[in-house]
Amino acid sequence: MTYVQFPQQKPIDFVAIGRLCIDLNANEFNRPMEETSTFTKYVGGSPANITIGMARLGKKTAFIGKIADDQMGRFIADYLRRDGIDTSNVVTDRTGAVTGLAFTEIKSPTDCSILMYRDNVADLKLKPGEVDEELIANAKMLLISGTALAQSPSREAVFQALHYAKRHGTVVAFDLDYRAYTWNSDEETAVYYNLAAEKCDIILGTREEFDMMEVFDRNPDRSDSVTANKWFDYSAKIVIIKHGKEGSIAYTRDGKRHRANSYPAKVIKTFGAGDSYASGFLYGVMQGWSLEDSMSFGSASACIVISSHSCSDAMPSADMVHDYIARCERGEITVS
Ligand SMILES: Nc1ncnc2c1ncn2[C@@H]1O[C@H](COP(=O)(O)OP(=O)(O)OP(=O)(O)O)[C@@H](O)[C@H]1O
Ligand SMILES: O=C(O)C[C@@H](O)[C@H](O)C(=O)CO
């Protein structure tokens, strides 16, 4: 059963809009940030990680965003280009804005957190007039990401991108990617998330992220099916609710529920799970696979990334994900 039809004649498979940042991942594991002295630098930002994931899986990709006019900004743009990602719509800020930094703390494999430095960041300065309509028109899928909705003018740039996607029949996926630090209030967050989600074909988020969107809704039991069904009155064809290690559930417009369990993993840290899951899942859907197979592929991709030190560098190829699934099926990876 195919839930989403992609416009196959379009030359670009996937374009994402949103933040391009730097991750500084603690080199010393299993200790608090206060006791961590060295970090390794990687390209980061959830939509950037997802795009890198899609590129590694062999998709033709592009990115729409804004980088700082500094060494970090140039490092990010070079990294994307080396992965074959089209950066023609990655604009350089000229106002003195800086690159967002995410310092990651790895207290234990299950207790990780991110300390974000995001004042005056370049990614939130993308303007609607800077979004390239032709690029979106030429893409089969546009991915938007929640954090880009947190402030103007990036917020308007995302809505402009959504408008172009609708105008040109580009499928829209929304990774909720809620980062509390960037927002001013729960009400503002819910209003803008809901306005964007109304326009999207595929919505992916954790239970907690959907809870955040439901501050004005009645869902006292935090029911996944109540959450999903709301979006089928708008544009959604697939709504995925992720439950960490417990796996994920996809709801579809025909009233069906599709479940994927997670695979075992030798976890180093949990961040990056959502980004690698998203790229693996969206890749599967674009290949025309069943939702179950696409979700399993996303889950295995997540395991590879959470068993690694980085998010972007660790994004796997399709062969690596198939191999991981085969090794799990042979019982060679058992630690969870
Ligand atoms: N500890 C784990 N072991 C195995 N698989 C996991 C684990 N944690 C997450 N996953 C896989 O990754 C998927 C996405 O994880 P999760 O629900 O934690 O997303 P997320 O909160 O968006 O991730 P992130 O921490 O990157 O923001 C899950 O559906 C599952 O398949
Ligand atoms: O999204 C961010 O800004 C931080 C990410 O780059 C980080 O790697 C992560 O949390 C992935 O989900």
Q: For 73-120, what is each residue's pLDDT tens digit? A: 999 999 999 999 999 999 999 999 999 999 999 898 888 999 999 999
Backbone angles phi, psi at 173, to 5 degrees: -110, 145
Q: Sheet holding 202-206: strands in order across?
A: 86-92, 61-67, 12-17, 139-145, 171-175, 202-206, 238-242, 248-252, 257-260
Full 3-state SS string of 35-87? HCCCEEEEEECHHHHHHHHHHHCCCCEEEEEEECCCHHHHHHHHHHHHCCCEE
Nearest residue to 162 (alpha-carbon basis) of 179, 174, 175 = 174
The residue whose C-alpha atom lies closest to atom 29 belonging to ligand 1 is 247
Residue 243 pLDDT grade (very low, low, confident, very high; cuts 50, 70, 90)? very high
Distance in angstroms (rounded) separating the CA atoms of residues 278 and 298: 6
Computed over every residue of the chain, the mean pLDDT equals: 96
Q: Report pLDDT for 336.
A: 55
Rounded to an integer, the average pLDDT of 226-244 is 96
Concatenated DSSP letters of 258-311? EEEPPPP---S--TTHHHHHHHHHHHHHHHT--HHHHHHHHHHHHHHHHTSS-S
The residue whose C-alpha atom lies closest to atom 18 belonging to ligand 1 is 244
Is 0.90 surpassed by the pTM of this model?
yes
Distance in angstroms (rounded) separating the CA atoms of residues 284 and 262: 16
Q: Report pLDDT for 316.
A: 98
Q: Cβ contacts of residue 127 below 8 Å, gap of 6+?
A: 153, 156, 157
Which of 269, 270, 271, 305 gets mutated to test ligand 1 (max ligand atoms within 8 A of its CB)?
270
Side-chain-side CA neighbours of residue 154 (13 Å): 26
Q: For 16-64, what is each residue's pLDDT tens digit? A: 999 999 999 999 988 999 999 999 999 999 999 999 999 999 999 999 9
Q: For 152-175, what is each residue's pLDDT tens digit? A: 999 999 999 999 999 999 999 999
Q: Which atom number of ligand 1 is nearest to the Cα of residue 175?
A: 22
Backbone angles phi, psi at 140, to 5 degrees: -75, -35
Distance in angstroms (rounded) separating the CA atoms of residues 80 and 59: 13
Q: How far is CA 113 from CA 15, 31, 176, in A?
A: 28, 11, 18
Distance in angstroms (rounded) separating the CA atoms of residues 108 and 154: 35
Which secondary structure element, helix H or strand E, spans residue 231, and what is its range? helix 224-232
The response to whether residue 23 sits with its C-beta less than 6 Å from ligand 2 reads: yes
What the chain holds in terms of domains, given with CATH numbers, is: 14-329 (3.40.1190.20)
Q: What angle do CA 131, 118, 79 make, to 5 degrees?
A: 60
Percent over 90 (pLDDT), the chain: 91
Expressed in angstroms and rounded, the spacing between residue 263 Cα and the centre of ligand 2 is 21
The response to whether residue 178 sits with its C-beta less than 6 Å from ligand 2 reads: no
Strand partners, 117: 101
ipTM of the complex: 0.96
**Token pair for residue 59?**
């998709």
Q: For 248-273, what is each residue's pLDDT tens digit? A: 999 999 999 999 989 999 999 999 99
